[in-house]
Amino acid sequence: MTLNDIADKFQNYTYNDTRSISEYLTVLKESNTLDENNVEIQEYLLPEILILLKKAILNKFSSDLLFQKNYWSWGFVSLYYSNFFLAQLLNRLKGNFFTRIDGIKNIYLDISTNKYILININTNSRDTHKKELEKLRENYLVFITDTKYRKAIPDDYTRRPFFNESKIRNDINYTLKYYKEFDSLFYENIDIKNCKIDYTKYKNFSINEFRILEINNSRFQLSFDILSIIQQNNSTFKEKYNEFITQLRYKMMIEDTNQFFRYFKYFIKKEKFHISSKKITIQFEGLL
């Protein structure tokens, strides 16, 4: 499987952003017209994917803003959600994902018939985030040896030791060893200065939580690479996608490297959007 294989199915998909897949299928179910063996969701997929991309970017920018101000605890929680939305996005790109219709359902593309099938899954499990990450690993395991994308793939939760993204999020939120910023610490004996050092470099992180950042960078790379191929072959999506990229560039003011003038433009135009750090600006310049 290649990125082109993933992108090819979207060539002729139309673009309908009037409602979500979940809303569309709920209407069909309530009217008794839902055919679970042929769920025609093609027109709703790309708009939903673009929404998830925006959610992932906003959480990425939120974490960046928090990190700049030394709110590391909530910064990592925000970064985790950016990763989670990217997982949902990538699973939709693969054509094997979850949606909600009277509980959580699995939709997958049957390659032999080129039809989307709706199936029930075990709704007793409340760990929907774990299911999403396991699905991501299932969908993209072929890239586990690719140095460019391998960090986007979650670890196998059935084999120890593994890195559990959800557990890191839960530990930060619910245990008492985090939220030490009032004492100039991130947690326990980790000084905020060490967090700043780790955040400004790109590899060999000394703090375990920064693996969430590595994962985030890799998932964004994989997502943008697939979307770039799709927009080349789908003129309708190209228009929507490029419109968003242009908007994102404008919001970030990438063309202005002088921080003073960037603040000045925001003041004059009364814009209220995050002034990104040099680190995040460089990353998105490489993706856009």
What are 51-68's pLDDT values in tens digits? Answer: 999 999 999 999 998 998
Reported as a pLDDT band with limits 50, 70 and 90, residue 270 is low
Tokens of 173: 């939120």
| Domain span at 110 | 3-287
Q: What is the pLDDT of residue 125?
A: 56
pTM score over 0.85: yes
CA distance 273 to 58: 10
Give CA 34 to chain center in angstroms. 29
User: Residue 53: exposed, middle, or buried by beta-carbon count in 10 A (0-12, 13-18, 19+)?
Assistant: buried
What is the per-residue burial (b if ≥16 Cβ within 10 Å, else e) of 93-108? Answer: bbbbbbbebeebbbbb
Number of domains in the chain: 1
Q: Is the pLDDT of residue 258 over 60?
A: no
Higher pLDDT, 31 or 122: 31
Q: Is the pLDDT of residue 198 over 90?
A: no
Closest C-alpha among 224, 186, 225, 216 to residue 280: 216
What are 97-107's pLDDT values in tens digits? Answer: 999 888 889 99
Amino acid (1-letter code) at residue 58: L
CA distance 44 to 237: 12
What are 5-33's pLDDT values in tens digits? Answer: 999 999 999 999 999 999 999 999 999 99
